[in-house]
A and B are shown apart, each in its own frame.
Chain A
């Protein structure tokens, strides 16, 4: 390829610099989430344009071609179809999307928030089948025959038997020379983690509150994904009862009604007991709510669940309280009062998007 790849690499380097520079902005912004692919995120960046003297776009007009009476709408290719909001300010209308690997994004996040790498809990090295053909054995299917090794074995045998003739260097492998590729199982340290995102979707959690949860969850996922090879995410929503939902529903569901936080904790516990045994999994429950539990008795129940059941099984339990117009925020106080000394519990409160970065740092800053 031409030198263009070098220029592209330089361009991407500049872009990464930009993203790093503006990471705080992205941290408070849901832009990235919609662009998430399996391994990468498209980050929309305003085209890093060189300034020139050029014409502005006011008034937006020009020459077109086609039928249509005076007053008829013109279809614009770069259409502002559906574009609402204040007019003007078309600056940066050239948005360029640049793919950034999730790992790289996590690394930027880690550096920006000075997050420590996670120390795996306990020493669990689970021997799993490495699954790679990196061994050799003497029997196997022809399709896996290792020609070079077979030839070598045959050569060795021929020479050892003093049958090798330099003038007629013919090597004929026999049955016992055959070598085959084989899978060799190697102990691979297992690093699986599960995240429980539990969200209060009772009437008091508004759209903005959910948006904050969504952004926080995105970054937490991104970080933990970079720390564990195998990450599963379970989404639980609750009002007075809890249920498992998919990612989409998690962010868009709007239930109403009372709040019984214990319902979510019970469901998470049940899942841990059934599917995500702590011996095999690093467990990260996150719970987001505006802190308005239904009754003091249910809060007591939550505290008991945490203390006796959840905390001993988890790497860390995080509670994020999102301020809403209606919530009293009592729940965080209650947790801090009773369990505040337990370092496996981390609580944070977020008043608006600006606090997201700090909350993430609180949650992930311990390296647990």
Chain B
């Protein structure tokens, strides 16, 4: 039955056999996942798919071309290489690179089953579109039709504007709606973080423009859970590929190569956190402490898992530290190893899916139809150059003025955009104060 189901796969007979064996082992460890279809491709094709975010077909955009150029160059110069790509879909699609060694393929397959289990059971994925492959295809067709009808330039310009807003969303919204069984896109209520959703409903747009905005929003929400669970997802997959391979798949002669390959993926890079490494250590630590790791992988996202598990022992063992720029020597150096500070910083970086928290708090408060946005400042300033440009694009879609309150080095700032220019005003009180915002 298994082999019949996997008929779409393009694996060689040998790899197909291994896929079947490893799947059986994985299920033996109580990993539970939807069907996985493996596709064997050469690296250029894998780079192409990676540039599209894992999907072989997306709507046309130069951005993907730029990403492809970057990946392709990186590969050509030997700087980077993609081993595998998995997409959250039913069936799960996994792309393997032809040039991988047999050992690498085994590792990657076990890794993929880990991801597949995570996709199936982590709560943040509960609301995700499991037919995204088709959905993306439909989006692509729709956009191509628009290009035929309205011309490349117009569609591209609007698409670029819309894409600038792709992170103006509420990372928790899909799960909330899922739990409440609410209809998605229930009438946008204020205040909301889902600016994209608000604009889809309320912005004065042509039908095709609204459709593009809807597409951008749908795809952004599809990818958001992966951003929120990057460390967990990679950690979980690495945890299981390591266990599956060393305990049940490899023979002794392969262990050294495995260790080499595995340690490459989970290496610590100085000055940054490798999600594979941090993730696998979190799950190992949890297991040591006697947690039910399956429950953890179901309930948490990166931030909440770290909040639950990380303590002094973990920070010390993993040698995590804070770094910062020394104003005097202007070099980057270790500034602190206090575990509470390190943990707080980790949490701050991961909170809200790693995005700046920007809320739409009012519309048309003084009768000029303006949107009022509030940046909930958490100690990190916005990049103001980008913020201006982005505001101009929000205003272009809204066809009206847009205001944004934020802070810069603890000074209040009010950015006023009338559609043509952005004026930055210094305001007295800290502009963003979480307690106040709720009253609007």
Contact = CB atoms under 8 A, between A and B. Distances in A.
B332 A57 contact: no
B323 A51 contact: no
Given A7-B68, A77-B271, A61 B45 contact: no
B179 interface: no
Interface in B310-369: 318-326, 330-337, 342, 345-346, 349, 355-356, 358
Given A51-B390, A64-B270, A64-B272, A87 B319 contact: no
Contact of A4 (B48, B323, B324, B389): B48
Interface of B: 44-45, 48-49, 51-52, 56-58, 60-66, 68-70, 73, 160, 163-164, 166-168, 268-274, 277-278, 318-326, 330-337, 342, 345-346, 349, 355-356, 358, 375, 380-390, 393, 409
Given A10-B60, A61-B323, A1 B45 contact: yes
Contacts of A12: 65, 69
A97 B73 CA distance: 9
A6 interface: yes
Nearest to B343: A63
Contacts of A87: 330
B58 to A, nearest CB: 8
A47 interface: yes
B319 A65 contact: yes
Contact of A74 (B64, B168, B334, B355): B334
A202 B160 CA distance: 54
Q: How large is the interface on A (under 10, 10 to 19, 20 to 34, 35 or more residues)?
A: 35 or more
A223 to B, nearest CB: 27
Which of the listed residues A4, A54, A66 has the most CB atoms from chain B within 10 Å of its own CB?
A: A4
A95 to B, nearest CB: 11
A52 B383 CA distance: 9
Q: Which 9 A-B pairs have the closest CB atoms?
A: A11-B65, A51-B389, A7-B65, A61-B324, A8-B65, A56-B383, A4-B48, A11-B62, A75-B270
Interface in A53-75: 53-75
Interface of A: 1-12, 14, 47-48, 50-77, 80, 87, 91, 96-98
Given A4-B52, A7-B68, A59-B325, A52 B164 contact: yes
A74 B380 contact: no
Contacts of B324: 59-61
Contacts of A58: 381, 409
Given A12-B65, A64-B321, A97-B73, 18 more contacts: A2-B57, A4-B64, A4-B68, A11-B65, A11-B69, A51-B387, A54-B382, A55-B356, A61-B322, A63-B320, A63-B323, A63-B345, A65-B274, A68-B321, A68-B334, A74-B270, A74-B334, A96-B70
A53 B336 contact: no
Contacts of B337: 70
B332 A55 contact: no
Contacts of A61: 322-325, 335, 345
B363 to A, nearest CB: 18
A8 B68 contact: yes
A337 B10 CA distance: 79
A12 B72 CA distance: 14
B166 A52 contact: yes
Contact of B48 (A1, A55, A96): A1
Nearest to B270: A75
Contact of A7 (B60, B326, B390): B60
A71 B334 contact: yes
A14 B157 CA distance: 12
